[in-house]
Structure 1
């Protein structure tokens, strides 16, 4: 289950950001076989792209959806837009925003960092991926 992998990677041992956690966990859970450079590509999205904008867990999750459900290019796949919108809507319904600064003010603690946020993203992502892969 993706949530277990997220808990594994969002730990002091790995010291990954929220965006990195999502792609590392998905890589293992869904056997994406991503290379190190692809995994590193999510580094700049942590901390809301370093400016507390869109949450890194959201960015990482959307990257995973793109990897899994876009054949070649985004504009050739209407489905990715639908899946991205679905993810955003479910995330915002549960946590009321996708903004890193607002999420941190509401959910981040010194002990668990952004675990509530990252775990929520993992649950939503896994729900969408599991459903779509079963079609």
Structure 2
């Protein structure tokens, strides 16, 4: 398994679960970024739950933060990140829409969000390698 995914799932399975999707992703890369897990959690705290208002998914915003911190700023690559996630979810990128669609299928929120985190991390690592 991908080392970043493993770290993220460790974070998501902490009890109590206190990290949102963006925090989980940024914390999974914290050591490589030269920041503490606590600083990563603070920097990304307001991006979970779609920036706390159901807007862009925290896995996406967390991924964009990591890509930027790793020096990936090419607009084509950044757009590819967002577009590929949207393509995997019927064009949806907003937390509220993604969670509603998941609920309509009878899905469990944590399982859905963990999947979004995995998807974002795998894509981050793929894009970083290609840069």
What TM-score, normalized by structure 1, do the two folds share? Answer: 0.79
Asked if 1:9 is matched to 2:8, the reply is no
RMSD: 2.0
Map of 2:22 onto structure 1:
19
Where does the alignment leave 5 or more consecutive residues of structure 2 unmatched?
A: none
Aligned residues: 122
Deviation at 1:129, TM superposition (A): 1.6
Runs (4+) of structure 1 moved beyond 2 Å?
A: 12-15, 35-39, 110-113
Give me the whole-angstrom Cα distance separating, in 1, the residues matched to 2:40 and 2:27. 10
Map of 1:126 onto structure 2:
125
CA pair 130-39 structure 1, distance change in 2 beyond 3 A = farther
Give the alignment partner of residue 79 of structure 2, picking from 85, 90, 96: 85
Where does the alignment leave 5 or more consecutive residues of structure 1 unmatched?
A: 71-76
Give me the whole-angstrom Cα distance separating, in 2, the residues matched to 1:123 and 1:43. 22
Map of 2:95 onto structure 1:
100
Give the alignment partner of residue 48 of structure 1, picking from 30, 43, 50: 50
Give me the whole-angstrom Cα distance separating, in 1, the residues matched to 2:80 and 2:112. 26
What TM-score, normalized by structure 2, do the two folds share? Answer: 0.81
Deviation at 1:12, TM superposition (A): 3.5
Give me the whole-angstrom Cα distance separating, in 2, the residues matched to 1:111 and 1:44. 18
